[in-house]
Chains A and B, each alone.
Chain A
Amino acid sequence: MNIAITLTVNGVVRQVEVPGRRLLSDCLRHDLGLTGTHVGCEHGVCGCCTVLLDGEPVRSCLTFAVTVDGHDITTVEGLAAPGGAMSPVQRAFAECHGLQCGFCTPGFLCTVTALLRDNPAPSEEEVLEGISGNLCRCTGYQNIVKSVHRAAEIMAEES
């Protein structure tokens, strides 16, 4: 039996009917066509599917779509400005080579966006703790850590 839910995704109100067992990650990708959210491990280890739920990063593979009926979701597609200009975090990842294959990147971008909003000038340790729940098999993390510090700089310059 499907359940009608309403989600505000990247500022757009979306109505969809899903079974109770539909993971939010699958709802975003299959029902709403937003394939920017990647699905890696489906048990909460890899962090690829991280999205912002009412502004807070959460695992969309460990959340049922029906549970978040009525809530705001931001995916990687919603991080850029309305005209398409990349956000400071996205620009910093591009500039510092914070990605290679790009599979883990949507999760990192969402996690780091919330991290820098709450802590605009994080220490090295705070950055490591902040991204500790996201796995990357390409970069070796060094450039991701640089990207986070660079994003903090860009945000400070532009504010």
Chain B
Amino acid sequence: MKPPPFDYHAPRSVGEALETLADVGEHGKVLAGGQSLIPMLNMRLAAPGHLVDINRLTELATLDVEPGGVRVGALARHAQVERSEEVAAAQPLLRQALRLVAHPVIRNRGTVVGSLVHADPAAELPAVLAVLGGSVRLARPGTVRDVPAAGFFTGILESAAEPGELAVSAFFPLLPPRSGTAFREVARRHGDYALAGVAALVGLDDDLRITTARVACVSVGPAPVLVDVTEACGHRPPASADWASAARAVQERTAPEADIHATADYRRHLTGVLAQQALRDAAREALDA
């Protein structure tokens, strides 16, 4: 239960970090909060030759509410984002989801961008980025690119971040007017990875009819499963929307696998129930918005 040896790098600037990552290429791994990476090292599930520790890059510990959304820097801890009233007002889904991420002590250290890059299909934040249509900013020396959520999560624990690239920030778009969000999940114990979970976004028009309804589901595929259920909800006011039909549409799109924690059928069942609950919650928030 001790990490394998690695060469340790402690860059003092983002520029130096990018140069180091470019040098070590596919043998390099970025260390931010370490709350997923260090367990994997301790259990010898990962053995990178070089660890590039970005914890001294305080210039990445940023949290900015911009006109179009919330930009979270690579060193912003879960706890910092969760506690920000400004962020909760601009994009409530972040706090709704972060309260379900592990335990408070883990959230003191873990980072939002780190969770995204780790791309665990059972994690909450990839689903948040997916349902909001956010993006991740990846940098290498002299180049920066923004990858939309739809193309960022490429498989189990795999993201579009390539060897030598550093994820410097993530962008979570603001909610449009008259819209609401919710996150619902079921875990064996509070703080565990969810057996199933659903992030939902519902938007209404001026007549308070549903114009947007979509969900992103966790633990039912290799990456967050994004499903647009606007049609299934039937362009009606939330009180008469066909939530059951929306839930069935979500279930049809999931391909869960069985493991020691739950059968595939049980995960699909939970996803349907949670989708209905999350959509109702989000619609209620939209009516109050």
Residues from chain A with a CB closer than 8 A to the CB of B43 are: 43
Measured between alpha carbons, how far is A43 from B7 in the docked complex, in Å? 21
B191 x A62 contact (CB < 8 A):
no
A20 x B106 contact (CB < 8 A):
no
Proximity string of chain A (41-64) to chain B, C-beta cutoff 8 Å, 1 when within and 0 when not = 011100100100100111101111
Q: How far does the Cβ of B118 sit from chain A's closest Cβ, in whole Å? A: 13
Chain B binding site: helix, strand, loop or mixed by DSSP?
A: loop
Tell me whether B109 is interfacial, beta carbon within 8 Å: yes
User: Which one, A50, A57, A62, A130, contacts B34 given CB within 8 A?
Assistant: A62
User: Which one, B2, B108, B190, B191, contacts A57 given CB within 8 A?
Assistant: B108
Measured between alpha carbons, how far is A20 from B103 in the docked complex, in Å? 26
A58 x B103 contact (CB < 8 A):
no
User: Which one, B4, B38, B191, contacts A133 given CB within 8 A?
Assistant: B191
Q: How far does the Cβ of B100 sit from chain A's closest Cβ, in whole Å? A: 11
* Number of cross-chain contacts by CB at 8 Å: 84
Question: B189 — nearest CB in chain A belongs to which residue?
Answer: A132
Proximity string of chain B (1-29) to chain A, C-beta cutoff 8 Å, 1 when within and 0 when not = 11111111010000000000000000000
The interface on chain B, measured as residues whose beta carbon lies within 8 A of the other chain's beta carbons, has a size of: 30
Q: How far does the Cβ of A139 sit from chain B's closest Cβ, in whole Å? A: 17
Measured between alpha carbons, how far is A58 from B4 in the docked complex, in Å? 22
A67 x B55 contact (CB < 8 A):
yes
Q: A64-B38, A64-B53 are in contact. Are A58 and B105 (CB under 8 A)?
A: yes
A62 x B39 contact (CB < 8 A):
yes
Q: How far does the Cβ of A148 sit from chain B's closest Cβ, in whole Å? A: 14
Tell me whether B51 is interfacial, beta carbon within 8 Å: yes
Q: How far does the Cβ of A20 sit from chain B's closest Cβ, in whole Å? A: 3
Residues from chain A with a CB closer than 8 A to the CB of B212 are: none
Chain A interface (Cβ < 8 Å from any Cβ of B): 1, 3, 19-21, 23, 26, 42-44, 47, 50, 53, 56-59, 61-64, 66-67, 69, 111, 129-130, 132-134
Chain B interface (Cβ < 8 Å from any Cβ of A): 1-8, 10, 31, 34-35, 38-39, 41-43, 51, 53, 55, 79, 102-106, 108-109, 190-191
9 pairs of A and B residues whose beta carbons are closest in the complex: A133-B103, A20-B8, A43-B39, A42-B1, A21-B3, A62-B38, A57-B105, A133-B105, A56-B108
Q: 8 A-B pairs, CB-CB below 8 angstroms?
A: A20-B8, A21-B3, A26-B2, A43-B43, A44-B35, A44-B39, A62-B106, A63-B34
